[in-house]
Amino acid sequence: MSPSVRLQEMIRVIRGARTQGEERGVIQRECAAIRAQFRQADNGTRSHNLAKLLYVHMLGYPAHFGQMECVRLIASPRYNEKRVGYLGAMMLLDEKQDASLLITNSIKNDLSHSSQYVQSLALCTLGCMGSAEMCRDLAPEIDRLLRASNSYIKKKAALCAVHIVRKVPELGELFTPASRSLLSEKNHGVLHGAVVLITELCERNPETLEQFRKAVPELVQIMKGLVMSGYSPEHNVAGISDPFLQVRILRLLRILGRNNETASDAVNDLLAQVATNTDSSKTAGSAVLYETVLTVMDIKSESGLRVLAVNILGRFLLNNDRNIRYISMTSLQKIVQTDHNAVQRHRGTIVDCLKDQDASVKRRALELSLALVSAVNIRSLMKELLLFLSSCPPELRAHTTSGIFNAAERYAPSQRWHIDTILHVLTTAGGDVRDETVPNLIQLITTATELHCYTVHKLYRALIADISVQSLVQVACWCIGEYGDLLLRGECEETEPVQVAEDDVLDALETVLQSHMSSPATRGFALTATMKLSTRITHNVDRIRSIVSIYGSCIDVELQQRAVEYNALFKKYDHMRAAVLERMPVIDKSSPGHTNGESAGGSIKEMEPTKRTQEVVLPQEPANQVCDLLDLLGGSGEPPQPSPALSTTMLGPVSSTAGGDLLDLLGGLDVTPVPPSVIVYEKNGVTLKLQTDRQTDTGMTITLTATNSTDREITSLTLQAAVPKSVQLQMKAPSGDVIPAHGLGQVTQTVLLNNPNKVSLKMRVRVCYTSQDFVCQDTVQIDSFPSPAW
Amino acid sequence: MTMHFLLLFSRQGKLRLQKWFTPIPEREKKKIVRDMTTMVLGRKPRSCNFLHWKDLKIVYKKYASLYFCCGLDAEENELLALEVLHRYVELLDKYFGNVCELDIIFNFEKAYFILDEFLLGGEVQETSKQVVSRSIEASDMLQEVSERPCSR
């Protein structure tokens, strides 16, 4: 029996095994036989035994005892044994095994073998698993083969050189001269190998890149030849002449043309030619066009060419082949920032791809659609996105909702649209939204004062329809608590009037409280909302009282605490209840948890200007009443007017935890000892004091306080400051520009000084104000600063 | 086309060929094979042929009962990778004459020899089908000669 049939026989037997155990038995027996055969002297069956072992290895069984056999077979003079030996080396040996070094000498000898097929085996193995050491040893040999051999060997030597350069980058210099001359070969295999080698060299060494820029005209010529030549049977693939070579040349041109005007210019024409002449009905042509597009977008091409490239991608979007649609979208994603307008033209097709069956295509279409949202198309695009949300696969929902929210926030054409959109998302996919959605939505609702009635009606309707979506329920409860009076009043211009009775509202809230679907946070919202309604309804206050007292013994500690406190509000502090439960002021966007007003300044500028006036107009008295009554404030003489940029002075917008723990309003205040202040300016009854809040080695924070002892108020107060050159100055917005008369109030302004060079700090302050219709302006020099309080 | 690996496996996930172009420890090779088979076999019938896995692009194509799967760098041209896979199938087809999975099972070493004439170090070494086929024929002839007992 011929030995190779024994190999196939063994395969048949293994495949015939009916269980894993049986298979293992067969394999153990075979391996034992193979081991025995390896120990014997050469009996002509070694290569077949190794082949058997390789099959066993592929099934996943250990085969390390074959490694030495590979080394032996490689050294054999017989081609059939070498062939299997080298195959075994590539499968069983990698550079981490010690045995791999043993074959270096064999490879070296075989590289100069008289038969090109033996040389080929050595080259292939070296190029596949050669370690850095082996590469260093054999690099000169490879260089020799690059120069003086037939094309069969040259092409393999070129790719072997690529492997060597990847393992030992310094050896790149060795191959540079030879690779340059390879470009003039006609053989496609050699040319392809040369282009790959040059690409590798240029990517690793900028100097080599410079050198090879001179080869651009030559490469352009080769490419033109391929594109414009007639039918070449040997290299033709679906009408394209050697697409593999074309793509590699395009890639090399991309690397050479990147960031270089001259090289880019030289290839502009070629790229236009390839783009227009390549038939993309089959994958081969599309592959070449795709590479062309990538090259156009990456080098400094003229705008006409870029538009052509984007149009090609647009055409790809309409292709029947799903793969082509997919790669078109990945490419569009990369360029949507830089060539936004060009991509916008294909928005319709992209949006259609949202309905594609394939999940990868859908995902890409979603990313692109979100990138294409702009103020102009927000309404139509949002319709499509919301439609997509109702049928999108679950793994994309979270991403879609956050994308929709971001887009809505940036481009909302009106507040009502914005609120409607968020509510739509919550009803469709409320379980997949981010945690900050609830406080963000609440904040948005408070700012849209004209829409309070509309919003609360809409939310109420959503609530009685379905209480399973926690985020929606939380927002609905909060709104009903806040604006319950508007809900009960019935009329609303934006929606049809509907009569809502107090009992219905309380029923809805109680359903939420008692439902097992409601999370603890949601129940907290519902309880607080119920409590708030006690000042907004007329007839059912007793019902609220009883609900609150029931929950005073609830197992949930949070609910119990709230209920007990609300109970106390009913019993002991009933006179304060109206004040405590008053309408909330408009919430500052960044204030939850923050006391630093800097970020607030930034975000507020983006919002509608009406907001700022609303902020000032809102009643602040209730908050002050509370603090007087509860007597927590002592000595922090901050003015009641909030300033847009300094929200530190505001007493208590909502914390980000479950909506509005009212009695926690004053939790954030602390009373600091008053630091010493120095009078720096005193004139016309206006006094300017300076106190140092903080001082470090490299800077300090000071507060300027202006008071007025005249009997008319001072208006249009502005303070300007100048400091030495190396010091950086930042003036925060002042608390106001009017100083009330008779010393009844003051204006403060915080100044931050950063002194990295530790020069002696001096400051010049210019004071401008209007007093009794005269405009006054004075400058004071401050040479020394008081020490800080701590 | 810088390939990191090329795998052939059946519908049941049985490996028929594995070619690794980067040095990877045995255990990790097994893990990659497991991941690839799970991911590719789990794809719906009319999905696109490209996947993402860690930082690699995975391109796969089903030919009859065999899945051809390769892992590429992130900057590679996926459409060309499909062409490379297709070219390999054509070479196998030419060699075996209407190749089927059984041919590759029982002649796995020949499948490797053909692959080694087409790809080297993860790159395409010859773009002409005829040249590759002729080289294989010549190598096979040389093998036959060397197997005869009187050869050197």
Position with higher pLDDT, B109 vs A488: B109
Mean pLDDT of A168-184: 93
A359 reaches B (C-beta below 8 A): yes
- Asked if residue A432 has pLDDT above 90, the reply is no
Rg (C-alpha) for chain A, rounded Å, is 40
- Asked if residue B89 has pLDDT above 90, the reply is yes
A461-470, A535-544, B60-69 — most confident range: B60-69
- Asked if residue A117 has pLDDT above 60, the reply is yes
Taking CA–CA distances from A46, the nearest residue in chain B reads B147
Locate A785 and state its tokens.
């600063």
Residues from chain A that touch B147, judged by Cβ atoms under 8 A, are 78, 80
CB contact under 8 A, A324 and B79: yes
Q: What's the pLDDT score for residue B1? A: 66
Q: Encode pLDDT of A448-500 as tens digits.
A: 888 888 888 888 888 888 888 888 999 999 999 988 888 888 777 666 767 78
Rg (C-alpha) for chain B, rounded Å, is 16
**Helix locations, chain B, DSSP H:** 26-41, 78-96, 101-106, 108-118, 129-147
**CA A131 to CA A124: how far, in whole Å?**
13
Q: Percent of chain A at pLDDT above 90? A: 35
Q: Which of A44, A60, A244 sits opposite B127 (nearest CB)?
A: A244
Q: What's the pLDDT score for residue A494? A: 66
In angstroms, how far is CA A128 from the centroid of its own chain? 37
- Asked if residue A277 has pLDDT above 50, the reply is yes
Q: Which of A95, A152, A159 sits opposite B123 (nearest CB)?
A: A159
Partner B, chain A 196-255, Cβ-Cβ below 8 Å: 196, 234-235, 237, 242-245, 247, 251
Give the dihedral of Cα atoms A297, A299, A300, A301; nearest 10 deg.
-50
Closest of B27, B11, B9, B10 to residue B19, by C-alpha: B9
A147 — pLDDT class (breaks 50, 70, 90)? very high
Q: Encode pLDDT of A727-738 as tens digits.
A: 888 888 888 888
A715 — pLDDT class (breaks 50, 70, 90)? confident
Taking CA–CA distances from A194, the nearest residue in chain B reads B125
**CB burial of residue A485 (10 Å; 0-12, 13-18, 19+):** middle
A638 — pLDDT class (breaks 50, 70, 90)? very low
**CA A450 to CA A461: how far, in whole Å?**
19
Size of interface A-B (CB pairs under 8 A): 159
Taking CA–CA distances from B27, the nearest residue in chain A reads A60
Measured CA distances, A572 to A552, A577, A697 (Å) = 15, 10, 52
A279 reaches B (C-beta below 8 A): no
- Asked if residue A504 has pLDDT above 60, the reply is yes
Interface test with A, best of B77, B82, B87, B107 (most A CBs within 10 A): B77
CB neighbour list of residue B58: distance below 8 Å, 6 or more residues apart: B36, B39, B40, B50, B51, B52, B69, B70, B71, B72
- Can you name the residues that pair with B17 across neighbouring β-strands? B8
Query: What letter does residue A643 receive in the DSSP assignment?
Result: P
Mean pLDDT of A394-410: 89
Mean pLDDT of A614-628: 38
Taking CA–CA distances from A242, the nearest residue in chain B reads B127
Whole-number average pLDDT of chain A: 83
Q: What is the separation, in whole angstroms, between the first and last Cα of chain B?
A: 39
Residues from chain B that touch A317, judged by Cβ atoms under 8 A, are none
Q: What's the pLDDT score for residue A198? A: 96
| pTM for this prediction | 0.71
Q: What's the pLDDT score for residue A233? A: 85
Q: What's the pLDDT score for residue A655? A: 37
